[in-house]
Chains A and B, each alone.
Chain A
Amino acid sequence: MSFQPERVLACHILTSLLQHRGSLASLLTTETLAKAQSPALLQELCFGVCRWHPRLNFYLQHLLEKPLRAKDMDVQCLLLVGLYQLLFMRTPDHACVNECVGTAEALGKPWAKGLINAVLRGAQRQQDELSALAERDYSAWYAHPQWLLDQLKKDWPAQYRDILDGNNQRAPMSLRVNQLKATRAECHGLLASNAVASTAGELAQHSLYLAQPMDTAVLPGFAEGMVSVQDESSQLVAALLPLSPGLRVLDACAAPGGKTCALLEAEPSLQVLALDNEARRLPRIQQNLDRLGLLATVRCADITVAGAEQFGRFDRILLDVPCSATGVIRRHPDIKILRTAAEVENLVSKQRALIHAAWPLLEPGGYLLYSTCSLLKAENTEQIAHLLSACPDARHIPLTIAVATTCDYGLQLFPKAGGTDGFYYALLRKQPIAE
């Protein structure tokens, strides 16, 4: 039996994705990767086409005489893959065109061979004209959907070009060293002795960046709970939320438990209640706790529905709400294809409901840290403005991080090449009764 060609597998995955039948995370499983002779190439094709989809699709619409039928989405994906290989991966022209033509056969669409040949050869010939056209179309040039580009420009007029560039980079792989098991220097040494190069992050005390991403299955120290994979921005929650021994902490949106574990590594005596309303995401929290040797109570619950009083009150609350994930587009480039403006509105009201449900659960004098991996003000500073106007006993506590941008309320990190994801934090305190 033969391997399945990476290009064929990529076409299947991208077709499902463009038909909204899954995401890169749900489609590009280890099972699927093993079907390819080169899993790395398959990954590159899928991520690359998503990352540059608005640009590639712009080129394609110029090169096609008439749009393809909906049922020929696989042919469309093959053309996008071909354009990506030609224009972004610098695959030798001749080989690329021939292999794409051959792939039409494997997809059961031999009629498309002439079309594929014509479109890809056209792209080669007109490369300069196409570039010039795309440069005049913002959505195509910056490779972002129009609604998101407009929103980012409105929210961040001075920074949006850098943000768009940041979103189009590849994300580095960043680790959090479990300070209960090793120091950052020891972990760096362990990695080095296994020929894995890493450097210390500048913002989070226990962070290491790997020179090359690698599978956690073979990452030294991972199985033993010495390290976790986590962006530096997320690690910072443990430094921003004031912690002391034995406090009662609610992590209201906890799955898969990355931040729960970061808090517990910083202060293992915390009494943490980790909630998530999605049952299928809960086991991941427990797995992470077990691997790292940490203890917390894990429950499937939604504080926005009646009965949240049963959990009692908390000294600290981490509210890491579901969001548009526009700060982590470089890790999940399919967001460019799947996310819509309407969904963002929906998320904004969910976040508001979570804020309203969480606030009464905070003890007077206690702190709540609100966080998102969004870049949009509607999900960030505007939510805090809303909370402050709705809850008279709430006070905004300014935070500082060296490279972050200060908003009306809270701090914004932008995605930075070789650095953090885009991230937002705001710290609030409930008035102590005596004041």
Chain B
Amino acid sequence: MTGLIGLSCAQVSKPLPNATMSLLTILEYPDLRLRKRASAISEVNDALRRIIDDMFETMYAAPGIGLAATQVNVHKRLLVLDVSENKDTPLVFINPEIDVLDPEPLGYEEGCLSVPGYFDLVTRPKKIKVKALNRDGETFEMEAEGLLAVCLQHEVDHLDGKLFVDYLSILKRQRIKHKLLKDKKKDERGESRAEA
């Protein structure tokens, strides 16, 4: 169902040998750093692969199905995702570029690790093609539909400083913003968010 078309093993991301991974902090809306535009990556090296591994670990731990570098305060054009049912198909996209293949709008109830606890319907083109580099710096292309297409577009938006809440009404966005800011203050005062 994930809509993986023509996926070769080369694109599945395997972690570096004996690397110790660490969890990164995910920025939360309305943090302004989420609005920065990420810049293109010129070289795929071990330092970048270390970030990729940390991003996967952070995404799986969250838990989530996709994470853009912007969300962990790394402003480079890089995203990771895994939309497989068994959570065993990590994919990485470096300098991703999206082309729309079928513009028919498809609605999906999206959620975001940077906007915890909120879900709302966003419509996006149904079928896309993505061109990117894999973790070895090789170019690949992939067609995507279904959840994979939704997730890719959501993550590429992050790299452009855009969030799914930007597709909602101003009123809804304001409400979410106030609520998250309030939760944050409570957290800082050491109260449990769940008690709200």
Contact = CB atoms under 8 A, between A and B. Distances in A.
A2 B1 contact: no
Contact of B111 (A2, A31, A39): A2
B109 interface: yes
A105 B111 CA distance: 12
Interface stretch (B14-22, B116-124, B135-143): B116-124
Grouping DSSP codes into helix (H, G, I), strand (E, B) and loop, the A interface class, with mixed when no group exceeds half, is: helix
Q: Would you call the interface of chain B mostly helix, strand, loop, or mixed? A: mixed
B2 A34 contact: yes
Nearest to B176: A105
Contact of B194 (A30, A98, A108): A98
B179 A2 contact: no
A10 to B, nearest CB: 13
B119 to A, nearest CB: 5
Nearest to A107: B119
B1 A4 contact: no
Interface in B87-107: none
A37 B63 contact: yes
A99 B147 CA distance: 25
A208 B52 CA distance: 47
B168 to A, nearest CB: 10
Contacts of B147: 31, 34-35
A105 B110 CA distance: 14
A342 interface: no
Contacts of A102: 117, 194
Contact of B119 (A31, A33, A39, A106): A106
Contact of A4 (B81, B111, B155): B111
B154 interface: yes
Contacts of A311: none
Contacts of A105: 117-118, 179
Nearest to B114: A2
A31 B118 contact: no
Contacts of A214: none
A402 interface: no
A31 B1 contact: yes
Interface string A22-50: 00000000110111010100000000000
Contacts of A39: 85
Nearest to B120: A108
A30 B85 CA distance: 9
A362 B43 CA distance: 77
B5 interface: no
Residue among B109, B119, B146, B154 with max Cβ neighbours from chain A (10 Å): B119
A8 B119 contact: yes
A366 B146 CA distance: 52
Contacts of A5: 119
B117 A3 contact: no
A434 interface: no
A150 to B, nearest CB: 40
A70 interface: no
B103 to A, nearest CB: 21
Nearest to B179: A105
Contacts of B110: 1
B194 to A, nearest CB: 4
Interface in B59-91: 62-66, 81, 83, 85
Interface of B: 1-2, 62-66, 81, 83, 85, 109-113, 116-120, 146-147, 150-151, 154-155, 172, 175, 179, 194-196
17 contacts: A1-B64, A1-B111, A1-B155, A3-B63, A3-B64, A4-B109, A4-B111, A30-B85, A31-B1, A31-B147, A34-B1, A98-B194, A99-B194, A102-B117, A105-B179, A110-B175, A110-B179
Given A2-B65, A39-B85, 10 more contacts: A1-B151, A3-B111, A4-B109, A12-B109, A98-B195, A102-B194, A105-B117, A108-B172, A110-B175, A110-B179
Interface of A: 1-5, 8, 12, 30-31, 33-35, 37, 39, 98-99, 101-102, 105-106, 108, 110
